[in-house]
């Protein structure tokens, strides 16, 4: 290969021939590009939420309840202007405002000291710690009025105490938090960013001086709106969130498909209640429960319409699925063609053609063919059909005649177009002709030369179908 071609080929691949041969060359070579080395980038701000999302939706079914508390810490700040409930317990650190007016006027701001007392001017110390706010107001009102004649007293809440509580266990952001005296369990959980997906929502323990004061079940709040066990915290309290040790998945035709944490023995009926109940289209007679055990995978098929099915005991890790019922139409017959009300009707035993169509005046269009109609009937599981021809006029005017056929479930009645133009009689009010394809009809034309009326029969094909079955009727011209 000539030198020029070698140099051109080398430039295409970024090779410097001069460096290879050790000699000098004036060929401008492109730099050799090496494949870049990719290193994983780990962001501390985003790594935790990604792990949570994966745990949240590992099988496409969300974990119930964890999104309510959120994954972002809202924090709690001391707010001094909150209305104080009458059952608020007064402890050292709280501040009350006392206004005395009448014979003498005074505005006092009194803090409860470490001994649990407040110091009233000209009266002395009064023990108030441990009382509710309502009891404190009544006590101060009585003491001041007994000591000072001709005055009225107004007692309000000043600044509330700030206290420290601890949130540990499976919290998003465990640690110590400064909160006010009105903080409850749920508010503290929100302050910590919520509960990890590995944590329990049904066994949150409120511990005070080493003793369990309350075993809080967040499901009572989420499912029933019950806040009776959402207790207020005290200084030094600890909220401990243990690991979740029991969960069952329910999916399919339920109002709220999710992974639910269960307590103790849980039946299939109780789990369905947690999920908000079954949807109307759910097929309750065949509910599948998949269970993984040391013996392998087991599958149970249960009937929720029975007591035994509802009382079936579930185990940790079970997967319950409610499938949809069949969408095929049952207990119905259909009327199609030149009728006023086209579509499916409810079938009742003993129903006849006249019952499905109604009267001639109210049930048929003006274009209906009264001499010829069809009844299409399925006769077996393979959807084979039989076709019955009858006089629609006889069926409607002679209810006891053979033309008034006895119907069966899924029968279809076809009423055809009579082929006559009705514009002359009905004008702009002529019925729209819903003509099934393939209706044989006579067409009248006028011969331009002789003026004679010529009638021509048109050959066509009629297709009738119910769930895929069909039949054809042909008539030669």
Q: Residues 6 or more apart from 408 whose CB is under 8 A from it?
A: 333, 347, 377
Interatomic CA distance for residues 96 and 175, integer angstroms: 31
* Res 462: pLDDT: 44
Asked if residue 314 lies in contact with residue 308, where contact means CB atoms within 8 angstroms, the answer is: no
Interatomic CA distance for residues 271 and 438, integer angstroms: 55
Instruction: Convert 62-95 to b/e letters by CB count within 10 Å (16 or more is b).
Output: ebbbbeebebebeebeeeeeeebeeebebbebbe
Interatomic CA distance for residues 79 and 66, integer angstroms: 27
User: What's the 3-state SS for the chain?
Assistant: CCHHHHHHHHHHCCCCHHHHHCCCCCCCCCCCCCCCCCCCCCCHHHHHHHHHHHHHCCCCCCECCHHHHCCCCCCCCCCCCCCCCCCCECCCCCEEEEEEEECCCEEEEEECCCCCEEEECCCEEEECCCCEHHHHHHHHHHHHHHHCCCEEEEEEECCCCEEEEEEEECECCCEEEEEECCCEHHHHHHHCCCECCCECCCCEEEEECCEEEEEECHHHHHHHCCCCCCCECCCCCEEEECECCCEEEEEECECCCEEEECCCCEEHHHHHHHCCCECCCEEEEEEEEEEEECCEEEEEEECCCCHHHHCCEECCCCEEEEEECCCCCCCEEEEEECECCCEEEECCCCCEHHHHHCCHHHHECCCEEEEEEEEEEECCCCCCEEEEEECHHHHHHCCCCCCCCECCCCCEEEEEECCCCCHHHHHHHCCCCCCCCCCCCEEEEECCCCCCEEEEECCCEEEEEECCEEEEEECCC
Q: 471 burial class (0-12, 13-18, 19+ CB within 10 angstroms)?
A: middle
Instruction: Work out the number of other CB atoms within 10 angstroms of the CB of residue 109.
Output: 10
Asked if residue 283 lies in contact with residue 253, where contact means CB atoms within 8 angstroms, the answer is: yes
Identify which of 320, 307, 177 has the alpha carbon closest to the alpha carbon of residue 238.
177
Instruction: Work out the number of other CB atoms within 10 angstroms of the CB of residue 248.
Output: 22
Interatomic CA distance for residues 382 and 116, integer angstroms: 88
Interatomic CA distance for residues 259 and 271, integer angstroms: 10
* Res 6: pLDDT: 54
Backbone angles phi, psi at 304, to 5 degrees: -75, -10
- Predicted confidence (pLDDT) per residue in 319-343, tens digit: 999 999 877 777 899 999 999 988 8
- Domains by residue range for the chain, with CATH: 1-32 (no CATH), 95-157 (3.30.1950.10), 162-241 (3.10.560.10), 247-324 (3.10.560.10), 332-474 (3.10.560.10)
Instruction: Work out the number of other CB atoms within 10 angstroms of the CB of residue 271.
Output: 20
Asked if residue 416 lies in contact with residue 369, where contact means CB atoms within 8 angstroms, the answer is: yes
Q: Tell me the Cα Rg of the chain.
A: 43
* Res 34: pLDDT: 33
* Res 158: pLDDT: 83
* Res 160: pLDDT: 82
Residues of the chain with pLDDT below 50 are 13, 19-55, 73-79, 430-439, 441, 451, 459-477
* Res 8: pLDDT: 60
Interatomic CA distance for residues 197 and 65, integer angstroms: 10
* Res 35: pLDDT: 30
């Amino acid at each position: 290969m000539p030198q020029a071609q070698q140099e051109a080929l080398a430039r295409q691949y970024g090779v410097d021939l001069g460096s290879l041969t050790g000699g000098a060359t004036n060929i401008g070579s492109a730099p050799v590009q090496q494949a870049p080395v990719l290193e994983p980038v780990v962001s501390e701000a985003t790594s935790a939420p990604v792990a949570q999302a994966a745990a949240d939706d590992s099988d496409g079914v969300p974990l119930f309840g964890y999104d309510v508390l959120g994954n972002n810490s809202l924090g709690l700040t001391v707010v001094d202007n909150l209305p104080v409930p009458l059952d608020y317990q007064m402890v050292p650190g709280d501040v009350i405002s006392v206004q005395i007016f009448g014979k003498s006027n005074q505005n006092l701001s009194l803090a409860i000291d470490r001994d649990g007392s407040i110091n009233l001017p000209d009266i002395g110390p009064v023990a108030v710690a441990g009382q509710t706010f309502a009891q404190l107001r009544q006590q101060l009102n009585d003491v001041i009025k007994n000591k000072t004649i001709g005055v009225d007293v107004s007692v309000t809440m000043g600044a509330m105490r700030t206290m420290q509580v601890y949130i540990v266990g499976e919290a998003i952001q465990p640690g110590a938090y400064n909160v006010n005296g009105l903080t409850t369990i749920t508010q503290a959980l929100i302050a910590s960013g919520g509960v990890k997906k590995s944590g329990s929502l049904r066994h949150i323990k409120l511990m005070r001086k080493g003793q369990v004061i309350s075993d809080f079940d967040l499901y009572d709040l989420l499912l029933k709106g019950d806040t009776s066990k959402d207790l207020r915290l005290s200084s030094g309290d600890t909220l401990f969130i243990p690991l979740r040790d029991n969960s069952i998945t329910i999916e399919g035709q339920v109002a709220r498909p999710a992974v639910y944490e269960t307590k103790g023995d849980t039946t299939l009926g109780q789990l369905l209640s947690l999920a908000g109940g079954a949807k109307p289209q759910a097929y309750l007679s065949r509910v599948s429960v998949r269970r993984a055990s040391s013996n392998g995978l087991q599958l149970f098929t249960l009937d929720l319409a029975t007591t035994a099915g509802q009382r079936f005991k579930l185990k940790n890790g079970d997967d319950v699925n409610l499938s949809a019922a069949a969408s095929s139409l049952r207990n119905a017959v259909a009327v199609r063609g030149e009728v006023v009300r086209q579509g499916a009707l409810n079938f009742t035993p003993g129903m006849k053609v006249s019952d499905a169509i109604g009267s001639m005046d109210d049930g048929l269009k003006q274009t209906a063919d009264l001499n010829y109609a069809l009844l299409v009937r399925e006769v077996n599981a393979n959807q084979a059909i039989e076709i019955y021809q009858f006089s629609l006029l006889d069926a409607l005017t002679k209810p006891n005649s053979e033309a008034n056929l006895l119907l069966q479930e899924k029968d279809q009645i076809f009423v055809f177009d009579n082929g006559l133009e009705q514009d002359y009689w009905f004008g702009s009010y002529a019925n729209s002709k819903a003509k099934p394809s393939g209706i044989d009809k006579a067409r009248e034309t006028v011969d331009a030369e002789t003026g004679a009326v010529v009638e021509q029969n048109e050959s066509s094909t009629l297709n009738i179908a119910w769930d895929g079955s069909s039949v054809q009727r042909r008539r030669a011209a």
